[in-house]
């Protein structure tokens, strides 16, 4: 590996040759004192007294859909289950998610949202009509888990609710009624129906999505026709009884810039946020996404490179938002993101059940660093999905539950919740594979309300450790502490038989001297350092 210096502001295109990653806004290049050309040591400067932006805790949000075994088995086992539960919701899953300080949960979809009719999911459970889940495996949906159960789950988790409404196959009236049912405190048909169904006080529902992927599974609309529908539907999504609802417009999938341009242009006055969805995999092919656990370095490298596309993607989408919203009033919610692999052999392909390795963990670390870096606009992100689907935090099998490597990244990164983003300049070595290369390191840093500095570092190289020399400008550090997530093998993952293969450990491979420290990050690792 050879260190090169180049001077640029931020990622432009992922196809450019990366030698330096500058993270954290407005700083053009690493100061000459901290850079020695030709050295194999990565260089970093953290401006500990220059943070101005807050990292919303909602960047660490989650998503749960009526898909496969996410809701049923994952969250909901029913009151009569032998699996310990509170009002039908499994206790082990709630307890594990509470340890992440889960800030917000999105529901009921996904594609499912645009075929969900909420009135079928209220009232006595044995009288609820059944429906066909046409998107996900053509299975029968019993509607046992509906509005009351979801909002009970949010209360058990202590998190905000983010509900996605049905534009694709629903009506304006249906959407209006739903919001009134959940949040109106007074005397109305919907509020009284809620009371009849056992809930007197209204719930707080902070976020409401007007449709989901309406360019695809949510109705295959053009941007123009969705924009017209959005403006009409959102009119009736009201803030009742002190519940200030944030209306979320359906934004693009990945680089669909024409979509976000039209929706921003035509709807910006009527929205609090717009969504972005971005999934990554180890191949360029949706019909063969690759195995979650059986892959070689070519597919490892491809995932790392694909994950880094989040930087130019955020930059371009934000630039378009800036054109119509110069004051930055509208938030960007990356309300679906993560890795997407071929379903685990032997499972229903429509259930999107996949395993999760140290590769997924490093990818998650990069995504979260990128969201932190763009926290002036990215105010929420929801990894897909929470339990048993795609890049899950938790996998369940009957009464058993395991935590994935990605769960551990969320647990380690919770120090960034609501902290102040610190500008970082990083001069990274390259991780070269074949004729291609990407920066080997990825980072973000923040300062929490007690003044403690937290640095999350990912080493994307699966074979080489990375030595880093860091200057903490503006700090007088007294001590340092670290945790690491890594594994011997790049396909390492937790199973029901061996649930502790990938888990965080104490990390002490660092040396602090004055306001400088050096550290050596293991290959394929996520390291979080705390400095006070």
**Residue 335 is a binding residue for ligand AHR (CB under 6 A):** no
Residue in the block written with tokens 């689907």: 389
**Residue 383 is a binding residue for ligand AHR (CB under 6 A):** no
Calpha distance 104→101 (Å, rounded): 9
Helix (H) or strand (E) holding 181: helix 172-183
User: Where does 376-507 have alpha helices with state H?
Assistant: 405-412
**Residue 336 is a binding residue for ligand AHR (CB under 6 A):** yes
**What values do phi and psi take at 523, rounded to 5?**
-55, 150
Judged by CB under 6 A, the stretch of 104-112, 114-122, 137-145, 283-291 that binds ligand AHR is 104-112
**Residue 237 is a binding residue for ligand AHR (CB under 6 A):** no
**Residue 109 is a binding residue for ligand AHR (CB under 6 A):** yes
**Residue 141 is a binding residue for ligand AHR (CB under 6 A):** no
In angstroms, what is the minimal distance from the CB of 332 to ligand AHR? 16
**Residue 115 is a binding residue for ligand AHR (CB under 6 A):** no
Residue 213 annotated to the active site: yes
Smaller CB separation from ligand AHR, 160 or 336: 336
**Residue 387 is a binding residue for ligand AHR (CB under 6 A):** no
Calpha distance 356→393 (Å, rounded): 9
Tokens of 46: 């953290």
**Residue 212 is a binding residue for ligand AHR (CB under 6 A):** yes
In angstroms, what is the minimal distance from the CB of 230 to ligand AHR? 16
Catalytic residue among 73, 149, 213, 411: 213
Smaller CB separation from ligand AHR, 111 or 321: 111
Tokens of 350: 């429509």
Closest by alpha carbon to 153, among 242, 246, 62, 250? Answer: 62
Write the binding mask 356 to 375 for ligand AHR: x where contact by CB under 6 A, - elsewhere: --------------------
Smaller CB separation from ligand AHR, 76 or 351: 351
**Residue 209 is a binding residue for ligand AHR (CB under 6 A):** no
Calpha distance 58→62 (Å, rounded): 9
Q: Which of 22, 154, 303, 384 binds ligand AHR (CB under 6 A)?
A: 384
**Residue 411 is a binding residue for ligand AHR (CB under 6 A):** no
**Residue 219 is a binding residue for ligand AHR (CB under 6 A):** no
Q: Which of 45, 46, 111, 366 binds ligand AHR (CB under 6 A)?
A: 111
Peptide bond between residue 101 and the one before it cis (omega within 30 degrees of 0): no
CB 207 within 8 A of CB 161: yes
How many helices (H) and strands (E) are present in the chain, helices listed first? Answer: 10, 28
Smaller CB separation from ligand AHR, 339 or 494: 339
CB 410 within 8 A of CB 367: no
**Residue 213 is a binding residue for ligand AHR (CB under 6 A):** yes
For residue 48, CA distances in Å to 149, 186, 407 come to: 44, 49, 28
Residues 35-74 that bind ligand AHR (CB under 6 A): 65
**Residue 183 is a binding residue for ligand AHR (CB under 6 A):** no
CB 71 within 8 A of CB 112: no
**Residue 334 is a binding residue for ligand AHR (CB under 6 A):** no
Calpha distance 117→238 (Å, rounded): 19
Size of the site for ligand AHR (CB under 6 A): 10
Q: Which of 68, 110, 405, 439 binds ligand AHR (CB under 6 A)?
A: 110
Beta strand 430-433 with 516-521 is unpaired
Catalytic residue among 160, 336, 411, 425: 336
Tokens of 13: 């295109």
Tokens of 427: 């001069």
Smaller CB separation from ligand AHR, 67 or 159: 67
Judged by CB under 6 A, the stretch of 38-46, 225-233, 298-306, 384-392 that binds ligand AHR is 384-392
Tokens of 169: 């196959």
CB 429 within 8 A of CB 484: no
Show which residues are catalytic. Answer: 213, 336
Interface ranges with ligand AHR (CB under 6 A): 65, 109-111, 212-213, 336, 384-385, 390
């Amino acid at each position: 590996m050879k260190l090169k210096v180049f001077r640029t502001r931020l990622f432009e295109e992922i196809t450019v040759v990366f030698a330096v990653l500058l993270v954290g806004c407005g700083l053009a290049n690493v100061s000459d004192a901290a850079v020695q050309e030709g050295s194999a040591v990565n260089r970093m400067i953290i401006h500990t007294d220059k943070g101005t932006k807050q990292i919303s805790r909602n960047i660490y949000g989650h998503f749960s859909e009526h898909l496969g075994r996410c809701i049923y088995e994952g969250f909901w086992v029913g009151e009569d289950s032998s699996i310990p539960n509170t009002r039908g919701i499994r206790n082990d899953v709630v307890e594990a998610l509470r340890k992440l300080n889960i800030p917000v949960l999105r529901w009921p979809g996904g594609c499912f949202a645009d075929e969900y009719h909420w009135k079928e999911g209220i009232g006595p459970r044995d009288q609820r009509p059944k429906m066909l889940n046409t998107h996900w495996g053509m299975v029968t949906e019993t509607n046992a888990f509906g509005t009351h159960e979801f909002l009970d789950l949010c209360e058990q988790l202590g998190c905000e609710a983010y509900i996605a409404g049905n534009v694709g196959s629903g009506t304006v009236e249906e959407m209006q009624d739903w919001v009134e049912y959940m949040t109106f405190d007074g005397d109305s048909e919907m509020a009284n129906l809620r009371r009849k169904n056992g809930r007197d006080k209204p719930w707080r529902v902070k976020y409401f999505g007007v449709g989901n992927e309406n360019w695809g599974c949510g109705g295959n609309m053009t941007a123009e026709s969705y924009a017209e529908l959005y403006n009409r539907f959102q009119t009736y999504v009201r803030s009742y009884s002190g519940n200030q609802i944030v209306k979320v417009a359906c934004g693009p999938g990945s680089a669909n810039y024409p979509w976000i341009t039209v929706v921003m242009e035509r709807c910006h006055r009527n929205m609090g946020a717009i969504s972005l969805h971005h999934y990554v995999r180890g191949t360029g092919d949706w019909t063969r996404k690759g195995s979650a656990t059986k892959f070689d370095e070519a597919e490892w490298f491809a995932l790392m490179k694909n994950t880094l596309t989040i930087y130019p993607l955020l930059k371009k989408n934000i630039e378009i938002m800036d054109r119509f919203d110069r004051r930055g009033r509208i938030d960007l919610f990356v309300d679906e993101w993560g890795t997407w692999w071929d379903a685990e052999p032997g499972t229903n392909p429509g259930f999107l059940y996949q395993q999760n390795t140290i590769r997924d963990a490093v990818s998650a670390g990069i995504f979260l660093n990128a969201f932190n870096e763009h926290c002036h606009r990215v105010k929420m992100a929801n990894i897909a999905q929470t339990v048993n689907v795609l890049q899950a935090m938790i996998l369940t099998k009957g009464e058993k539950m395991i935590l994935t490597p990605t769960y551990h990244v969320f647990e380690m990164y919770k120090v960034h919740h609501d902290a102040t983003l610190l500008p970082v300049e990083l001069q990274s070595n390259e991780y070269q594979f074949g004729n291609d290369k990407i920066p080997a390191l990825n980072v973000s840093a923040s300062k929490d309300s007690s003044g403690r500095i937290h640095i999350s570092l990912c080493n994307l190289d699966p074979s080489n450790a990375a030595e880093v020399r860091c200057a903490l400008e503006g700090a007088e550090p007294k001590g340092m502490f670290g945790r690491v997530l890594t594994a011997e093998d790049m396909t390492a993952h937790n199973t029901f038989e061996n649930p502790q293969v990938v888990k965080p450990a104490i990390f002490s491979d660092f040396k602090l001297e004055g306001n400088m420290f050096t550290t050596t990050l293991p290959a394929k690792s996520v390291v979080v350092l705390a400095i006070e």
